[in-house]
């Protein structure tokens, strides 16, 4: 049963993608609900079993190396498997009734979900690479086919950056394979040497992304549909982060100072750039870059707490960033603009909108009780105790900067005289999906025990 479910988690969405092109709009909605429930049931069954759950079979030979089709549900990936199910189906339902060619959009989105599950499940580095590369193709087409007027340029920039990173990633992978096996245990048995470590880090950091490998992200978010931005920030960035933590950065003594320094510089630059923006989606995009820089800082600490926080940051940021982009898309649909001066006072027009703005502002800042607070607290605590409290100054300062500019956004939207004009929405699904993500974010912040228990033994 476990073998079937491990395969179903990634094959299910791929199989459903083949059906999407033949269904009506109502059929697509029913498919999303039913398939989402099946995926959640499969995940829950695996989650309740003693971990790890593994399946492997010989795939092919690569010279003297045997490559395996190996899947596994482990404490490191089980929360991200759930994140993929929740965010993927939430993004699909969010804009399904407002998109052109919804069947094609659904097909591509389900392919992304299937390949993303494969990335998290893969226990062989070559299989990981195959899934990782496969996810880039539908992501490119999703940006290229739907969104703003400059979406095609944004998609081409995304392709240029990610394909360049993939070439470097492949070189590092093959370089490292010369003296180790491809399976998870064999790959991690000995530390990576500097050459493969640098190549693998650069290749995957494009997708995280870390400054200066980030410039594709702002354009992709601005031009993509709201659902596309939810998937990009909430899910696709996690492929790079999970790959780095699990396959490259598992030994903190390799490149530890470099990672802390790189992450700290990127963190402060990203928050500074975000503070200067007036486009709401661009602000959220650069905030995501700052939050992902914390993953590098946590991975660069020898403390197990910091590494647990880095893993947890992938999960919590997925919920918060998807909620923020859903909220931005919801406001854009109501006012037909994303520019802050033109959105002035919009939240004063409806009390429920005001409440959502408060909840998401606090979630982005990471106040106590919010999802991001738990992971960021672990990172700061781990870095401070593991490498010295001087290093903890950088993430602490970024929290203050993030609070400053997000409170500015909130003040403009909710505490200023209304200038925005409210347009009627054709459906209330964007509002419902946004509230769904807010509830998940708050719940994981108030009761983080299920995820922290999973990560209790994550370490070098």
Give the pLDDT of the chain (460 residues) as one tens digit per residue: 899 999 999 999 999 998 887 888 888 888 889 999 999 999 999 999 988 899 999 999 877 889 999 999 998 899 999 999 999 999 999 988 788 888 999 999 999 999 999 999 999 999 999 999 999 999 999 999 887 778 889 899 999 999 999 999 999 999 999 888 899 999 988 889 999 999 999 999 999 999 898 888 878 888 888 899 999 999 999 999 999 999 999 887 777 889 999 999 999 999 999 998 999 999 999 999 999 999 999 999 988 899 999 999 999 999 999 999 999 988 888 888 888 888 888 888 888 888 998 999 999 999 888 899 999 999 999 999 988 898 998 888 888 889 999 999 999 888 777 766 666 666 678 889 999 999 999 999 999 988 888 887 675 5
**What's the pLDDT score for residue 424?**
63
Kindly give, in sequence order, each residue whose CB lies less than 8 Å from that of residue 450, ignoring residues fewer than 6 positions away.
none
Instruction: Return the structure tokens found at 166.
Output: 């993939």
By 3-state DSSP, what share of the chain in percent is helix, strand and coil, each rounded to 5? Answer: 75, 5, 20
Q: What is the CA radius of gyration of the chain?
A: 21
- Report the pLDDT value the prediction gives residue 97, as an integer from 0 to 100: 79
* Cα distance between residue 64 and residue 82, in whole Å: 36
CA dist 118 to 26, 168, 320, 418, Å?
Answer: 28, 21, 23, 47
Q: Which positions ≥6 away from 272 have C-beta within 8 Å?
A: 401
Q: Are 285 and 276 in contact (CB under 8 A)?
A: no
Question: Which residues fall within 8 angstroms of residue 77, CB to CB, at 6 or more apart?
Answer: 120, 121, 242, 246
C-alpha to C-alpha distances, 250 to 202, 211, 301, 379, nearest whole angstrom? 16, 21, 11, 15
Cα gap 66→29, rounded to integer Å: 42
Burial 45-73 (b: 16+ CB within 10 A, else e): ebbeeebebebeeebeeeeeeebbbbbbb
Angle of the 125-145 helix axis to the 151-177 helix axis, nearest 10: 170
Determine which helix (DSSP H) or strand (DSSP E) holds 345, and give its type and residue range. Answer: none
- Report which secondary-structure segment, H or E, holds 54: strand 53-62
> Could you tell me which of 453, 460, 459, 457 has the C-alpha nearest to residue 79?
453
The residue behind tokens 């400054």 is 211
**Nearest C-alpha neighbor of 95 from the set 440, 431, 435:** 431
- From CA 221, how far away is CA 144, in angstroms rounded? 12
Tokens of 400: 């203050």
SS3 state at 58: strand
CB-based burial, 396-431: b 16+ in 10 Å, e otherwise: eebbebbbebbeebbebbbebeeebeeeeeeeebbb
Q: Alpha-carbon distance 425 to 411, whole Å?
A: 24
Please tell me the predicted confidence (pLDDT) of residue 457.
Answer: 66
Cis ω on the peptide bond leading into residue 247 (within 30° of 0)? Answer: no
Give the total residue count for the chain: 460
Task: Judge whether 237 and 139 are in contact, CB under 8 Å.
Answer: no
Please give the torsion angle defined by the CA atoms of residues 78, 38, 438 and 135, in that order, rounded to the nearest 10 degrees. Answer: 60
Q: Where are the domains of the chain?
A: 255-460
- Side-chain half-sphere of 11: how many Cα atoms within 13 Å? 7
C-alpha pair distances (Å), 269 with each of 79, 128, 345: 29, 31, 29
Angle at 31 between CA 29 and CA 33, to 5 degrees: 70
Question: Cα separation of 259 and 249, whole Å?
Answer: 9
pTM: 0.94
């Amino acid at each position: 049963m476990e073998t079937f479910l491990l395969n179903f988690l990634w094959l299910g969405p791929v199989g459903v993608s083949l059906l999407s092109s033949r269904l009506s709009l109502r059929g697509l909605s029913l498919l999303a609900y039913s398939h989402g429930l099946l995926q959640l049931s499969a995940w829950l069954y695996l989650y309740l079993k003693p971990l790890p759950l593994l399946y492997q079979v010989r795939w092919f030979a690569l010279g003297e190396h045997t490559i395996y089709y190996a899947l596994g549900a482990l404490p490191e990936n089980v929360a991200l498997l759930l994140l993929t199910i929740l965010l993927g189906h939430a993004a699909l339902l969010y804009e399904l009734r407002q998109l052109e060619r919804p069947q094609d959009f659904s097909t591509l989105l389900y392919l992304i979900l299937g390949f993303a599950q494969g990335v998290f499940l893969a226990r062989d580095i070559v299989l990981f690479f195959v899934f990782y590369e496969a996810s880039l193709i539908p992501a490119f087409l999703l940006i290229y086919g739907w969104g703003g007027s400059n979406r095609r340029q944004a998609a081409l920039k995304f392709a240029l950056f990610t394909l360049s990173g993939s070439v470097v990633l492949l070189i590092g992978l093959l370089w490292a394979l010369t003296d180790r096996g491809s399976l998870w245990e064999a790959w991690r048995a000995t530390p990576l040497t500097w050459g493969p470590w640098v190549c693998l880090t650069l290749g995957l950091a494009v997708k995280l992304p870390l400054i200066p490998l980030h410039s594709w992200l702002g354009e992709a978010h601005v031009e993509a549909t709201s659902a596309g931005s939810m998937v990009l920030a909430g899910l696709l960035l996690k492929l790079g982060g999970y790959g780095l933590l699990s396959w490259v950065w598992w030994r903190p003594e390799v490149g530890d100072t470099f990672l802390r320094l790189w992450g700290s510089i990127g963190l402060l630059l990203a928050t500074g750039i975000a503070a200067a923006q007036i486009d709401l989606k661009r602000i959220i995009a650069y905030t995501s870059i700052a939050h992902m820089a914390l993953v590098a800082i946590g991975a660069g600490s020898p403390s197990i707490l910091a590494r647990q926080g880095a893993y947890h940051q992938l999960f919590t940021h997925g919920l918060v960033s998807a909620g923020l982009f859903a909220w931005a898309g919801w406001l854009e649909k109501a006012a037909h603009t994303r520019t802050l001066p033109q959105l002035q006072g919009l939240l004063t027009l409806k009390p429920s909108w005001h409440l959502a703005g408060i909840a998401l502002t606090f979630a982005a800042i990471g106040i106590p009780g919010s999802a991001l607070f738990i992971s960021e607290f672990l990172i700061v605590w781990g870095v401070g105790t593991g490498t010295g409290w001087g290093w903890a100054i950088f993430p602490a300062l970024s929290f203050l900067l993030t609070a400053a500019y997000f409170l500015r956004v909130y003040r403009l939207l909710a505490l200023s005289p209304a200038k925005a004009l409210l347009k009627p929405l054709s459906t209330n699904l964007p509002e419902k999906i946004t509230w769904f993500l807010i509830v998940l974010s708050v719940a994981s912040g108030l009761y983080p025990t299920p995820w922290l228990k999973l990560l209790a033994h994550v370490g070098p």
